[in-house]
Structure 1
Amino acid sequence: MLTLISRYSTQLLASCVLVGFALPTLANTLLPFLPAILFILMLFTIVSLDIKTLIKDLAQRSVWLYAIWHSLGVTVLVMSLLWLFQVDSKLYLAIAASCATGSLFASPAIVRSIGLDAQRCMAMTIASTLLMPLVLLLNGLVFSHFSGTEQLQLDMQIYSQRLAIFIILPVFISVVGHKLIKQSQIERALLTIRPVTIVLVLFFPLGLMGAFRETYDLSPNQAWQYLAIAFAVSGLLFISSFLLYIKQGKQQALISAITATNRNVLLTYSITGGFLGMEFLVYMGALQLPIYLLPLLVKQLYRPS
């Protein structure tokens, strides 16, 4: 069963968005459990990686240049186009916040399911997450200046705790585990566990659709508007990131494109203390379909050499 799920993981991820939309009660029930699922997913993913290589990747200038593009670069690009096309200003803060957000911690598992390098993706994910508060505050400051509203506040204590739980703790457990357990035993265990990581990722599109469905029930036109904007922004991030990195090879361009499109919006919402409001919750749900459809498209078009 797990092998079948792993084989059709990208199709199932996109399908879970529709299931979450169709069953909002299920989505709202799963939402509180997503942080715990996220921790397990991060632990499995980091244990499967080479920590020394990951540290070397994080020391590379190119990874941090990517993180700057992932947050600050896409903010300038996306917000300029939103202003140019006169998109409803009520959405500006929600979209700017999502642009500042680091990549999904599930990105390495998604990238691996397509046959791409999860090791490099993890370094890019961690770098973009570490840079996130600075760009999020900057985006909030700019928004507050032009809109005259209250300045965005971040709960740095919660952010620090989540970094410790979701990144530092799994790295520590991985290092200790690799010292105490034989590599051959770890590799055998990982072969069994790997399909489980994809199953865990399925809970995210399922659990983040509640607010979007509620908006759809109240105002279908507004929900369609959110979805159209989410598709446009995600498509723009994917295409621009792919073109920006294509000189480094097709695989690196695809990793960059997928990592840039995936956004850990749940982390952003948790550290802003609900400041971003209902607009962000709805946009968070609208993002799920393009986020999980793009890997499906990549899997259909990309064949590892």
Structure 2
Amino acid sequence: MAAGQHPPGAGRLAMNPLHFFARHGRATLIAGLLAGLLLPALAGALRPWLPQIVAVLLFLTAFRIGPQQAIGSMAQARWTLWLVLAFQLALPLAGLALMTALGVAQTPFGFALLLVLSSCSISGSPSFALMLGHDPAPALRLLILGTALLPLTVLPILWLSPSMGDPRAVLTAAARLLGVIALASATGFALRHAAFRTLTPKATRTVDGLTSLALAVIVIGLMSALGPALHTDPALVARWMLAAFATNFGLQISAFMILRRLGHPDPVGPAIVAGNRNMALFLVALPAATTDPLLIFIGCYQVPMYLTPILLKRLYAHD
């Protein structure tokens, strides 16, 4: 081999390993799901660190998008406000009224569904939109504004449904989550504005790889209750898993179809947010008798969440 030449494949070996995770983001999510199921000790060890990992993910998402793209136009801001009110206020109130009329509001599934509908977006929704090849900014705007308005949108639901728990505890948790999102997003935007006005393709792939890894680590911790339940009561897990898929994908598909018909300029991000909600926020306010089954449901709900970029890829490719 001549001097200065590299052996075949050396370029691939020298490649930034984060670029590998960026190219295989969907496979990385699957690996996180499997680790959460098969490695309960690791899931339990990661669970206390979830707030910090969420903050890192929010920082990476804000840095990737940048402040100018996140703010958007006034027309986009109006869409964001209306969607937050529809997702976090109109939907849960309509769902509560329907379930009360049917006599299922106090059942475990009825209560779990109300939690889903009342919650704001998960922190990973912008990253899911990115993995599907769409603009993550609409999902990020919904995440930020939805969390900011959650203390207000949840008040009528807390008043009408006493089983939601102590309103003060829920509002305190919402305020804490809003503080984390505001600080992480502001830091990401500030760093992007100050030092990286334009990201190179290489830098973009590096950030995308870090984001994929953060998402995989988060899901391991969120599934800490699911692995043990699979051994003790697999039938219960199967029922909750079916409910999780029906709820998550049903909300996403319905929102996507309705928003397309209404002429939304980019319905993919909002549709992802419609089904992927941050229920864990409400755990601090729930009665102890409902904690265990809801933890299993939250673990099950991670599966359709993290399979969104894979199983709904064809649906969202039509936009």
Matches within 5 A, 1:219-298: 219-247=233-261, 252-270=266-284, 272=285, 277-298=291-312
Name stretches of at least 5 consecutive residues in structure 1 with no aligned partner: none
Matches within 5 A, 1:88-99: 89-99=107-117
- The residue number in structure 2 matching 1:172 is 186
CA deviations 1:64-112 (Å, max 9, x no partner) are 1111222223324555369749587134333312211111111111111
Q: Shift in Å at residue 122 of structure 1?
A: 0.6
C-alpha separation in 1, matches of 2:195 and 2:187: 11
Structure 2 residue 145 is matched with structure 1 residue 131: no
Give the secondary structure class of the aligned counterpart of 2:134: coil
Structure 2 residue 218 is matched with structure 1 residue 204: yes
C-alpha separation in 1, matches of 2:207 and 2:154: 35
Residue of structure 1 aligned with 2:65, choices 36, 49, 74: 49
- The residue number in structure 1 matching 2:169 is 154
- Using the TM superposition, name which of 18-27 and 231-240 deviates more: 18-27
- When the two structures are superposed, what TM-score results if normalisation uses the length of structure 1? 0.84
**Coordinate RMSD, CA, aligned:** 3.1
Structure 2 residue 57 is matched with structure 1 residue 31: no
Q: Shift in Å at residue 181 of structure 1?
A: 2.1
Residue of structure 1 aligned with 2:119, choices 101, 112, 115: 101
- Using the TM superposition, name which of 59-68 and 86-95 deviates more: 86-95
Letter matched to residue 233 of structure 2: S
**Identical pairs, percent:** 23
Query: Is the CA contact (8 Å cut-off) linking 2:129 and 2:269 kept in structure 1?
Result: yes
Letter matched to residue 304 of structure 2: P
CA deviations 1:194-240 (Å, max 9, x no partner) are 21111101112211112223333332222211111111111221121
Query: Is the CA contact (8 Å cut-off) linking 1:111 and 1:255 kept in structure 2?
Result: yes
Sort the Cα spacing of 1:44 and 1:240 in 2 relative to 1 into closer, same or farther, 3 A: same
- The residue number in structure 2 matching 1:5 is 21
- The residue number in structure 1 matching 2:135 is 117
Larger radius of gyration: 2
Q: Shift in Å at residue 18 of structure 1?
A: 3.1
C-alpha separation in 2, matches of 1:9 and 1:187: 16
C-alpha separation in 1, matches of 2:55 and 2:157: 28
Query: Is the CA contact (8 Å cut-off) linking 2:226 and 2:296 kept in structure 1?
Result: yes
Name stretches of at least 5 consecutive residues in structure 2 with no aligned partner: 1-16
Aligned residues: 300
Residue of structure 2 aligned with 1:67, choices 68, 78, 84: 84
Query: Is the CA contact (8 Å cut-off) linking 1:109 and 1:118 kept in structure 2?
Result: yes
Letter matched to residue 166 of structure 1: I
- When the two structures are superposed, what TM-score results if normalisation uses the length of structure 2? 0.81
- Using the TM superposition, name which of 120-129 and 49-58 deviates more: 49-58
Sort the Cα spacing of 1:88 and 1:178 in 2 relative to 1 into closer, same or farther, 3 A: closer
Q: Shift in Å at residue 248 of structure 1?
A: 5.2
Give the secondary structure class of the aligned counterpart of 2:225: helix
Q: Shift in Å at residue 163 of structure 1?
A: 1.6
Query: Is the CA contact (8 Å cut-off) linking 1:78 and 1:233 kept in structure 2?
Result: no
- Using the TM superposition, name which of 152-161 and 59-68 deviates more: 152-161
